[in-house]
Chains A and B, each alone.
Chain A
Amino acid sequence: MKYFITLILFLLVSYSYGQKFTLSGSIRDGENGEDLFGAVIKVKELSNVGTITNAYGFYSLTLDSGQYTIVYRSTGFETQEIVIDLNDNIEKNIELAIPADVLQVEEVTANAERENDNITSSEMNVTRFDPKSIETIPVLFGEKDIMKTLQLMPGVKTAGEGNAGFFVRGGGADQNLILLDEAPVYNASHLLGFFSVFNSDAIKDVALYKSGIPAEYGGRASSVMDVKMREGSTKKYSASGGLGLISSRLTIEGPIVKNKGSFIVSGRRSYADLFLGLSDQAPPDTKLFFYDLNLKANYRIGKKDRIFLSGYFGRDKFALGDQFGFSWGNGTGTLRWNHIVNKKLFSNTSVVYSNFNYEFSIGTGDDAFGVRSSIQDWNLKQDFQFFLNSNNTFKFGVNGIYHTFKPGALTGSNETFNELILDTRYALEVGVYVQHEIKIGSRFNMMYGLRYSGFDLMGEGNAYEYDEDGHQTSETQYSSGETIKYHHGLEPRLSASFILSESNSIKFGYNRNLQYLHQLSNSTTSSPTDVWVPSSNNVRPIIADQVALGYYQNLNKNMFRISAEIYYKWMDNMIDYRNGASLILNNDVEGELVYGTGSAYGFELQVEKKKGKITGWISYTLSRSLRSFDQINNGEEFSARQDRIHDLAVVVMYRLNKAIAFSASWIYYTGDAVTFPSGKYEINGTQVPYYTERNGYRMPDYHRLDFGFTWYMKDRKHFEHSLNFSIYNLYARENAYTITFEENPVDPDYPDGPQETQAIQTTLFKFVPSLTYNFKIK
């Protein structure tokens, strides 16, 4: 660590002389004034010299004095070129215009001088998109969903039909760090996973890091999904929204003070329960809905400072009159202060709050009782970005998260139940990182960094010790703030690219990630009652190491992008639970756990067509994901549930003309690894399945075709609207959601005959059409 800092200081010093000047500023969307993230700044006269804007639209480029043509470019915008005489530090804020005509976008991008950032950037294995670019892709119930679209990318696997959860390169669904404006989202699904918590209308940018994860991120073993909310237009007020069969949404945005600050408020509510009212089978006063609200405001104080406040609040509710209630939801809040310290140093300070909780309430009056559980984070974060010169950029920072886990409490006035409050857990998770992005010559880019992370599980509370069979053997009491167990480690990260030519490159990535929180789930779908367990005296942090190698090729003037990647991943301190483990309201949950290792490897191929009337991609993944636990499967290696060998997605979008767009997606994957019986026996007159190996069987292969049609109706000056029609599972494939093994119903002719057994497959969605109307008032 010490040597590392010395090295960086050395680099800082060695580059700090010479007649150099800095061009800095911000790049914004000309229409609404929002910051453009990842916009490219290139120097036309020099090869491999340039930079990109950071998440706040800021850029800084230091060059030798001279005259240059600077090219500003961002996907979907008209490229701008300006000629500058760099003989002093220059500040240049740029607004990029959107082409007047949607179809013209294609021409503009086609005419853009170079669209090969995927080849030249050192950023590896990052999948990034703007929700606008996916709006025509057909989705279930017409509710466009960034998480569902991510699952169409190579290396990202869906956690199952209608499930917002996902698996990245063989890791678990809890190993993805999901950030919404820097705030971790603990449960990213609504309605038990049929929808994600992200309202696409409020989202600006989504990035998913699969390997070579930058050092600024930490806390999860497998991937980072970084979601950034829109800021709202600083130029004019507008409202947009959509009416769907299941839910509706409305977004209002506008300037607080023109060109200085803006706000956006976006809300969404589902109304599936209104249909229940039409059914006489549901009891009256049945409620089943979710809503969410995204809020964000920002304000520029002078030229150098800017304040952002963003929040998310979402909740699912299910109630049967006043007899039973179940609700869960996330709340997050982020307060950020951007400060341009000088032309080369950018600072961001954040205070982040995140909360997830669920609660049950049963009964009324004297008999009422309830169960509640929550996890709460306070996160203080300081990040710096230092643009030393056109070849060297540094990022460094520090953060501390104070976690409070309340795994469960049963309270109430019902005389049947004794109050039970599980031990509250407190922990401080710290991270310090430094990262250096360097260009060496015109062909080699590298980003390397080191992160130190630590996790201090603290009192007040008890720590328990367990024997081999999970029985509690002793308990130790800790006072408030006293360390129960401190886990820590170093996480090196590296990602490098070697540019072979303008149109092809090779990239390499390595990352080690530590994960201090584990999620326990005993069901095939994600459930809000899944328990998060912190690392402790019994539970060690997951350590994941991954190496990845990729080849990238652009063809036909960057019209086609081809990427091929291979990876290998080692995972240590994975957890699973004993047979029959009880995970809810159990103070001894750590005694129910067993520890093992995992490995995952694979090959990913993607061919993407970026331009023209027909766009889309084909992605294919060939991969394995294996686990090994002493106590499971007699210690033999077994397939993880997501060990799908083949995974294929084909997405085609066809823009017929200005008014009409068609889209289709087809996906196919090998069935999940699953445990089926290899025999049966009789207990109490009932047939019981006899299981031999864990996950030794496969579900049937999954495939499905979705179709979408969007009609952009005639635009008026202040109003535009469109109609989206989609069909999910067009050819009504009966995909297996679950397969259960049970006794046949008794044969009335042979009531005493031997009871036969059968396998029953449940299928969820066959041919689901949906219609959504979208509008925008501007």
Chain B
Amino acid sequence: MKKILFALSLLAIAYSCQKEIDIDLNEANPIIVIEANYTAEDSIVRVGISLTSNYFGTDQPTTIDAAVVTITDALGNAQNVPNIGDGNFELLNYLPLFNTTYTLNVVYNGVSYTAESDLPSPVSLDEITYDFFPSFFGLDSGYISNLNFVDPADTINNYLVILTRNGEELNKLTQITPQDDLLTDGNPVARPLFSQFFDFGDTIGMELQSVDQQVFNYYSELISIAGGGGGAAPANPTTNWDNDALGFFSAYSNSRTEAVVQ
């Protein structure tokens, strides 16, 4: 709906123009950013820790290796997630227990940061379909893929849909599509994905991540501000970390499928 309103306002404002401008921004104190995923598919816990930098700064962000990272399962078994350099931490062969809660803890500089995430069961994707989409108000033409799957009935499901093109990762934030089941609970879902156009002969790859509600909300808010939007008063997305850390912790499962445009 937002996109349509946007297209409508674009139409009304055919006179508009854009340019890059200089703005003097404050320099905020660096804040810890923890991006943590536990992927059931390959049984790996991946954690990246860094600090915020100045908005127009051009240096690589400061990464943090001197932190202690621990993951705890629903039974209370804690395991260390070892540092592998460049602010990254990885724990291999960590087998999933679906529909349980995982807790991740990071201790850095004497401060402890904790987040919880539920690991939902995977939901399988049906075959990808695609349609040719003609040029529309100056937007590109091309093939768009359709998301097809059957939503499990009577449970709250939240998904992130991620596309790849010819095996190439496209998971820039604005190309992730959040999908909930508030209006589609228990139904077959068929939804065109406008986030990426494909050419004839391309291989479309689609991943359907099942995430918990907090992670879904986090991504929904994150995508709107990363795209330059966020409404009249943009704010940092609501994270599941405590102690004012930025980022998120997502324990997720997924399913994948592929199709060639022909």
Contact = CB atoms under 8 A, between A and B. Distances in A.
Interface string B228-239: 110111111110
Given A410-B183, A681-B50, A759-B22, A742 B232 contact: no
B53 A681 contact: yes
B232 A523 contact: yes
Contact of A523 (B50, B136, B189, B231): B231
Given A192-B12, A282-B137, A417-B183, A680 B55 contact: yes
Interface string A378-419: 000000000000000000000000000000001000011110
A690 B52 contact: yes
B209 to A, nearest CB: 12
B110 interface: no
Given A281-B138, A680-B52, A692-B26, A579 B19 contact: no
Interface string A697-738: 100100000000000000000000000000000000010110
B189 A579 contact: no
A675 B15 contact: no
B220 to A, nearest CB: 6
Contact of A580 (B4, B21, B237): B237
A94 interface: no
B228 A740 contact: yes
Nearest to B52: A679
Contacts of B111: none
A675 B234 CA distance: 6
Given A288-B11, A324-B4, A679 B18 contact: no
Contacts of A676: 23, 25
B84 interface: no
Interface stretch (A60-68, A95-103, A450-458, A763-771): A763-771
A768 B60 CA distance: 44
B66 interface: no
Interface stretch (A212-220, A430-438, A524-532): A524-532
A690 B21 contact: no
Contacts of B173: 683-684, 686, 688
B18 A415 contact: no
A580 B55 contact: no
Nearest to A768: B15
A430 to B, nearest CB: 33
Contact of B220 (A521, A580, A690): A580
B30 interface: yes
Give the residue among A524, A679, A760 with the most B Cβ atoms within 10 A.
A679
B123 interface: no
A479 B177 CA distance: 41
Contacts of A692: 26, 28
A410 B187 CA distance: 15
A191 to B, nearest CB: 5
Nearest to B37: A684
A313 interface: no
A111 interface: no
Interface string A585-599: 100000000000000
B235 A761 contact: no
A688 B229 CA distance: 11
Contacts of B226: 683, 686-689
Interface in A624-683: 641, 675-683
Given A288-B11, A318-B8, A758-B20, A524 B232 contact: yes
A682 B237 contact: no
A415 B189 CA distance: 8
A244 B238 CA distance: 49
Interface string A347-366: 00000000000001000000
B233 to A, nearest CB: 5
Contacts of A272: 11-12
B16 A759 contact: no
Contact of B55 (A276, A677, A734, A762): A677
Give the residue among B16, B23, B28, B50 with the most A Cβ atoms within 10 A.
B23
A192 B190 contact: no
A740 B5 CA distance: 18
B18 A764 contact: no
Given A416-B189, A676-B25, A688-B226, A524 B231 contact: yes
B233 A694 contact: yes
Contacts of A695: 233
B150 to A, nearest CB: 10
Contacts of B56: 756-758
A570 to B, nearest CB: 22
A25 interface: no
A416 B54 contact: no
B246 interface: yes
Nearest to A754: B60
A675 B235 contact: yes
Nearest to B35: A683
Given A415-B187, A682-B50, A741-B228, 6 more contacts: A415-B188, A416-B190, A417-B183, A523-B232, A688-B173, A764-B15
Among all A-B residue pairs, the 5 with the closest Cβ atoms: A740-B228, A678-B28, A580-B221, A679-B52, A686-B173
9 contacts: A288-B8, A420-B183, A676-B25, A679-B52, A680-B54, A681-B52, A682-B35, A762-B17, A764-B16
Interface of B: 1, 4-5, 8-9, 11-13, 15-23, 25-28, 30-31, 33, 35, 50-61, 134-138, 171-174, 176, 182-191, 217, 220-222, 224-229, 231-238, 246-248
